């Protein structure tokens, strides 16, 4: 009986110990959680002075606008404006005054038209306020007379919305020269972080010339940037424009650079007056795809890997695009014929007579246009300007499909509507052949 009583007392004591220990452990855990929360809510802000490649689209185009502003003021020979845009240290180092500034700075021998950034690195001078950008870009002379690749530095103060410009000893350089500069800059990186509290805060004093506005990413302005960059290169520097084309697309569409130059020459007016009308943005494996339709109804497909690093296709019909093929495969016969007609009219809008000629039925071709020159001579007189398609009645005669369409000009100068009959046969692998009649 006594042993039983002792056992009960022992069990009670053990239970009390367990409860006490549990309470202590719970309290300790809560204290730890409070400490963690306190630490997480009040972290020490750190930053780095290391130089890194810029990947932010907003900053990229903001900096580009600042550089363009500087060269515009320089081209006006505005000595006070140029002086107000230069970095104070650069002014002091080079003995620059308001009077001699135009003789001291890098000058433009052929005037100024535009500046495009090709690559850019940056570092943070003062936390979330001033940033320094190391810029490599293309400086285009007035009326696109020349193109010079240069290296320069810009400081931007995002608090005051102000900036200044400085130049290194090396200004005119090629890509390899720029990469050597960047390599030397990066070699000083420490990969260390410092406390924001211990970092000196700097500001660029705002004046009458050095203000800027930040580019906003929800504005399709970036799409227009890609369009302007490619079309400028295509028209004025066709060798560079040719190299911007997607390689598979380029080899499929053009025989060589001379063929490309002729194509650009035929479409020069459209290229120089191209603005974004519609667009679609999608993420692909390794790049972002921008599909742009301009105000002329022309398509551009930009494959962007890093802000302004891109390749481009200037139509949707030369090579198969995933979006088009998926739509085609999921369509009925009438819809497939309509898609093919859209390709033909897009090619005519682009004055891409080779593509249309390649789709003509062989017998029809031999009977009416035995050479590409014959076809181009006829169709270029009939088909003026750019046209929108109005689909009318559709019917078939066995495996031959007939679609009556009306082509309406986008502008009054494009002429009267064209009534056209398309006769088409569908082939394997989304191919087709056709003939046509135009109502006289």
What are the strands of the beta sheet with 162-166, ordered from one edge? Answer: 52-53, 114-126, 130-140, 147-157, 162-166
> Does pLDDT of 2 surpass 50?
no
Question: Three-state DSSP class for 387?
Answer: strand
Give Dmax (Cα) for the chain. 123
Distance CA 220, CA 239 (A): 27
Tell me which of 213-217, 239-243, 311-315, 355-359 is least confident: 213-217
> Does pLDDT of 31 surpass 60?
no
Alpha-carbon distance values, 215 to 58, 138, 221, 305 (Å): 5, 20, 8, 20
Percentage with pLDDT > 90 across the chain? 73
pLDDT in tens, 90-100: 999 999 999 99
Q: Looking at per-residue confidence, does 20 or 305 come out higher?
A: 305
Contact 279, 293 (CB under 8 A): yes
Predicted confidence at residue 335, as pLDDT, reads: 97
Q: Which residues contact 117 (CB under 8 A, 6 or more apart)?
A: 60, 63, 64, 67, 135, 136, 137, 308
> Does pLDDT of 33 surpass 70?
no
Considering the entire predicted model, what is its pTM? 0.81
What domains sit in the chain, N to C, each tagged with a CATH number? 52-198 (3.10.450.540), 221-314 (3.10.450), 323-438 (3.10.450)
Indicate the helix (H) or strand (E) that contains 249: helix 247-253
Predicted confidence at residue 310, as pLDDT, reads: 95
Which position has the token pair 């990969």?
191
Indicate the helix (H) or strand (E) that contains 83: helix 79-85
Q: Looking at per-residue confidence, does 60 or 20 come out higher?
A: 60
> Does pLDDT of 302 surpass 50?
yes
> Does pLDDT of 242 surpass 50?
yes
Q: Looking at per-residue confidence, does 195 or 176 come out higher?
A: 176
Distance CA 202, CA 167 (A): 20
pLDDT in tens, 377-422: 999 988 888 889 999 999 999 999 999 999 998 887 778 899 999 9
Q: Looking at per-residue confidence, does 98 or 194 come out higher?
A: 98
The confidence band for 24, taking pLDDT boundaries of 50, 70 and 90, is: low
pLDDT in tens, 250-299: 999 999 999 999 999 999 999 999 999 999 999 999 999 999 999 888 99
Handedness of CA 249, 251, 252, 253 (dihedral sign): positive
Which segments of 99-237 does DSSP mark as H helices, in order?
101-104, 175-186, 221-236
The confidence band for 11, taking pLDDT boundaries of 50, 70 and 90, is: low
Contact 299, 314 (CB under 8 A): yes
pLDDT in tens, 100-153: 999 999 999 899 999 999 999 999 988 778 999 999 999 999 999 999 999 999
Predicted confidence at residue 44, as pLDDT, reads: 60
Contact 403, 421 (CB under 8 A): yes
Distance CA 285, CA 226 (A): 20
Nearest one of 74, 94, 90 to 82, comparing CA atoms: 74
pLDDT in tens, 36-85: 544 445 556 566 678 999 999 889 999 999 999 999 999 999 999 999 99
pLDDT in tens, 317-351: 999 889 999 999 999 999 999 999 999 999 999 99
Predicted confidence at residue 39, as pLDDT, reads: 45
Which position has the token pair 């897009």?
346
pLDDT in tens, 361-378: 999 999 999 999 999 999
Contact 348, 356 (CB under 8 A): yes
pLDDT in tens, 156-168: 999 999 999 999 9
> Does pLDDT of 313 surpass 70?
yes
């Amino acid at each position: 009986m006594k042993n039983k009583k002792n056992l009960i007392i022992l069990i009670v004591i053990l239970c009390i110990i367990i409860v006490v220990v549990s309470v202590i452990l719970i309290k300790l855990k809560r204290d730890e959680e409070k400490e963690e929360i306190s630490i997480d809510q009040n972290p020490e802000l750190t930053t780095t002075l290391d130089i890194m490649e810029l990947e932010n689209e907003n900053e990229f185009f903001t900096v580009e606008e600042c550089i363009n502003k500087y060269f515009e003021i320089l081209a006006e020979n505005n000595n006070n404006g140029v002086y107000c845009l230069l970095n104070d240290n650069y002014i002091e180092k080079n003995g620059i005054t308001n009077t001699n500034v135009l003789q001291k700075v890098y000058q433009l021998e052929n005037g100024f038209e535009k500046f495009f950034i090709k690559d850019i690195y940056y570092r943070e001078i003062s936390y979330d306020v001033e940033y320094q950008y190391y810029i490599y870009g293309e400086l285009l002379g007035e009326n696109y007379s020349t193109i010079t690749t240069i290296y320069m530095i810009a400081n931007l103060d995002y608090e005051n919305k102000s900036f200044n410009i400085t130049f290194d000893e090396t200004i005119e350089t090629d890509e390899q020269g720029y990469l050597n500069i960047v390599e030397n800059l990066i070699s000083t990186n420490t990969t260390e972080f410092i406390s924001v509290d211990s970092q000196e805060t700097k500001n660029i004093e705002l004046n009458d010339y050095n203000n800027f506005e930040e580019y906003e990413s929800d504005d399709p302005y970036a799409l227009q940037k890609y369009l302007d960059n490619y079309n400028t290169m295509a028209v004025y520097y066709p060798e560079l424009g040719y190299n911007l084309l997607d390689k598979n697309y380029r080899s499929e569409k053009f025989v060589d650079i001379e063929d490309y130059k002729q194509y650009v020459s035929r479409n020069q007016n459209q290229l120089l007056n191209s603005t974004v009308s519609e667009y679609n943005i999608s993420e692909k494996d390794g790049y972002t795809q921008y599909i742009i339709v301009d105000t002329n109804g022309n398509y551009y497909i930009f494959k962007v890997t890093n802000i302004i690093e891109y390749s481009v296709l200037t139509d949707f019909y030369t090579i198969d695009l995933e979006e088009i093929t998926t739509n085609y495969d999921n369509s009925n016969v009438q819809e497939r014929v309509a898609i093919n007609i859209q390709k033909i009219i897009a090619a005519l809008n682009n004055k891409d007579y080779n593509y249309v000629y390649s789709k003509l039925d062989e017998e029809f071709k031999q009977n009416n246009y035995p050479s590409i020159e014959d076809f181009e001579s006829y169709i270029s007189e009939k088909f003026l300007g750019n046209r929108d398609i109005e689909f009318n009645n559709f019917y078939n005669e066995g495996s031959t499909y007939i679609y009556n369409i009306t082509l309406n000009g986008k502008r009054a100068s494009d002429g009267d509507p064209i009534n056209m009959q398309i006769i088409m046969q569908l082939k394997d692998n989304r191919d087709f052949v056709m003939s046509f009649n135009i109502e006289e």
